[in-house]
Amino acid sequence: MGVIAAFVCVFVLPLDATAQSSSGVVRPGTNTEQQASAAQSRQHQDVAAPDQYSAPLGSGHQKAGSSVYTAQHHNAAARLMSNFIRQDDTMPPFPREGQDADTRMTSGASNHTIPATTADAEQAIRDQQNQQQVAAGKAAFNTHCTQCHEAARSLEKQKSLAEWKATVRRMARKPESGIPSTDGDAIAWYLAHRNGTPASPNSDAGGLPATSSIGDAWANNQQASAWSFFGTVAPTWQTAISADGDDVSENPGFHADVWLGVEWQPNKFMSGRVQACTTCHSQGNDQNRLELAEGFLSFNVTEALEQNADVVQINLDAGRILVPFGAFSSQSHPGAFRTVTRPLMFNMGHNVQRQIIGPPILPMPYADEGVNVRMTTPVYCDLDLTWNTYAVNGLQGDDGGINFFQSRDYVDNNQEPAIGTRLALGNSAIKLGASFMVGQHNRIGDLAPADSPVLQYSIFGADLSARCGDFRFQAEYALRTTDSLIFAPTATGVEEQLDGIYVEAGVRVCDDPNIEVVVRYDTLNRHAAQPPGGVLTTGRFHVGRITSGFSMNLPGGSVLRLNHEYWMMPAGLDDEQVLAARWVASF
């Protein structure tokens, strides 16, 4: 009883005296004039509710880590200390050097020391705020960042807060990333603290000072640089096990799949990105050349107009862009998709009997010059609607149809742009999408004989993706219709149709190391007046493939993927078996 009475006299009575005034905290050693000045400067501040300090960054409440110690802090400190007395188990203190954030956040703590001074009380609040930010960042990371790649790829990397912020910022600008602007800082904060080593406040080393808060870190030269450099090295090996001993792979052996890029963001609403890759396709002696995959400027209309991003988010991209057709377009980067090769209808560079079965529906990634407008808005509960509308040069060809090698040129062969749109509705658990594109692929007028007809193409697609815990599922359908001419003996207009599907499922079977088992079934069907070439006697045939394998995370965040593919070829061709491997390392 004597201890409790002393506690009441020393701390509670001064607190009650202070609470009688709205001026703030009366600190020991300050004169009356200083107290009056402090009271006037804080007379418009409201006393915060307890949950205001645990709100995630960007939620609309005051940011954690304010360096101004006000009545809000003092009253919250009193409530916090009362919690230390009343509760048997509270949140553990913020992890220090050598402690894992995930473990300390969930392990609990049985004993706490009651803060003895104002500074200790303030630090106790900082610790609680930090824990709330780490917990919010972890939840956002598991919700958004694991949609396209394995969690271990990020969790096993060590970067400073500024570097993580630049990485998350870049990922959030990818189409259909689903990362809200309010979650980006929390994710970066979580990743920096999970593997970072505490450093002094003025240190450039990775990690954060043990006594810092998220507000202090952003104010303490922890802002992301306007420039960031990134890349992925994904060497791939494949071989076809043919009955006659011949390797009929399109690019047998090793292929150096390397992507390098740089991004520039001088402010919140303007950014630019340039990314180049080594090609996985060949034409004559032109193999493994470096080609521009992206080179565009992006303008965030919502940020520029300082509008509420929770209502609608509008982005404008102009330059050489990755055209957002289908769900796989946002996963066509080698660091994103979970198999060694892409689905048959989007496959590029990793086919078998390529000259016989012909090209795919649309090679991925499909890069083209043009403009894309992307709008994202919430529609119901946690469902978001994303709408892309674009105008690009389009696929190129001639009277015989589309030529995908020619389509890689940076200058269009006609004056007619291709237009398209994509709609996607969903959340982190399930998403439905639909895509459409139409354009002209041949040249007419002064570039070709005046009597050449306009030859067009159209592509339609639909997709579904879902995820539940360690299980994920994705399915997609696409159909391309292309006009062409047959000269036999006079020019006759014909129509070619290609369609296909893929159904892919994956499940994580082990956490340490992180291993995911993957199974995929995909098809490519052709309906044409003439065969593409080779030994086939008809233009109507079916190609099927069953892919099985696994992905395993290696130390340092790299990933090893091993696949076996069984190709079911058209009549007249032998079925093929392909072994393929890919090692993926990103920075």
Measured between alpha carbons, how far is 487 from 467 in angstroms, rounded to an integer?
50
Measured between alpha carbons, how far is 224 from 500 in angstroms, rounded to an integer? 43
Is residue 44's pLDDT more than 50? no
Composition of the chain by helix, strand, coil, percent to 5: 25, 35, 40
What pLDDT shows up at residue 126? 67
Beta carbons of 162 and 225 less than 8 angstroms apart: yes
pLDDT at 423 over 80: yes
For the CA atoms of 55, 61, 65, 66, the dihedral, rounded to the nearest 10 degrees, stands at -160
Q: Where are the domains of the chain?
A: 1-37, 45-217, 227-586
Task: Give the tens place of pLDDT for each residue, 484-498.
Answer: 988 777 778 899 999
Partner residues linked to 520 by β-bridges? 504, 547
Could you tell me what percent of the chain has a pLDDT over 90? Answer: 38
- The yes-or-no verdict on residue 481 having pLDDT over 90 is yes
Model confidence band, residue 224 (pLDDT cutoffs 50, 70, 90): low
Instruction: Give yes or no for residue 86 having a pLDDT over 50.
Output: no
List of E strands, 339-429: 367-380, 383-392, 397-398, 401-402, 418-426
* Encoded tokens for 216: 């202090």
Q: Any idea which of 109-118, 195-204, 363-372 has the lowest mean pLDDT?
A: 195-204
How much is the pLDDT for 8?
A: 40
Give the pLDDT band (50/70/90) at residue 438: very high
What is the DSSP secondary-structure string of 476-514? EEEEEEEEEEEESSSEEEEEEEEEEEEEEEEEEEEETTE
In the predicted structure, residue 470 carries a pLDDT above the cut 80: yes
SS3 category, 123: helix
What is the DSSP annotation of 533-572? STT---SEEEEEEEEEEEEEE-TTS-EEEEEEEEEEPPTT
Choose the weakest-confidence range: 10-19, 361-370, 500-509, 572-581: 10-19
Measured distance CA(57)–CA(137) in Å, rounded = 9
Give the pLDDT mean for 385-413: 92
Our measurement of the distance from residue 123's CA atom to the centroid of its chain's CA atoms, rounded to an integer in Å, reads 35
- Report whether 102 contacts 54 (CB < 8 A): no
Question: What architecture does CATH give domain 45-217?
Answer: Orthogonal Bundle (1.10)
H or E element that contains 437: strand 430-440
Tokens of 286: 């032109």
| pLDDT level of residue 28 (50, 70, 90 thresholds) | very low
Q: Answer whether residue 320 shows pLDDT above 80.
A: yes
C-beta separation of 522 from 344 below 8 A = yes
Residues paired with residue 283 on neighbouring β-strands, in sequence order: 286
Q: Which residue has the higher pLDDT, 432 or 139?
A: 432
Instruction: Choose between 56 and 162: higher pLDDT.
Output: 162
- Judged by DSSP in three states, 452 sits in coil
- Residue range 108-126: mean pLDDT, rounded: 62
The β-bridge partners of 559 are 553, 584
Q: For residue 177, what pLDDT is reported?
A: 65
Mean pLDDT along residues 201-216 = 42
Where residue 141 falls among pLDDT bands split at 50, 70, 90? confident
* Mean predicted lDDT score pLDDT of the chain: 75
Determine the Cα–Cα distance for residues 417 and 438; give it in Å rounded to an integer: 9
Question: Which residues fall within 8 angstroms of residue 34, CB to CB, at 6 or more apart?
Answer: none
At residue 96, the pLDDT reads 42
- Mean pLDDT on 270-283: 81
Distance CA 572, CA 541 (A): 11
Evaluate whether 263 touches 228 at the Cβ level (below 8 Å). yes
Provide DSSP, 142-207.
IIIITTTS-THHHHT----HHHHHHHHHHHHTSTT----HHHHHHHHHHHHHHHPPP--TT--SSS
Average pLDDT over residues 150-155: 67
What is 227-586's CATH number, 3.40.50.10190, 3.40.50.800, 2.40.160.10, 3.30.1280.10?
Answer: 2.40.160.10
Helix axes of 181-195 and 118-140: crossing angle, nearest 10 degrees: 110
Confidence of residue 113 (pLDDT cuts 50, 70, 90): low
- Residue 35 has a pLDDT of 46
Average pLDDT (208-221) is: 45
Averaged pLDDT for residues 389-403: 94
Q: In whole angstroms, what is the distance from residue 92 CA to residue 110 CA?
A: 8
Q: Each residue of 567-582: pLDDT tens digit?
A: 999 988 899 999 999 9
Q: Does 152 score more than 70 pLDDT?
A: no
Q: To 10 degrees, what angle do helices 181-195 and 161-172 make?
A: 140
Q: Which of 8-17, 398-407, 464-473, 490-499 has the lowest mean pLDDT?
A: 8-17
pLDDT value for 217: 47
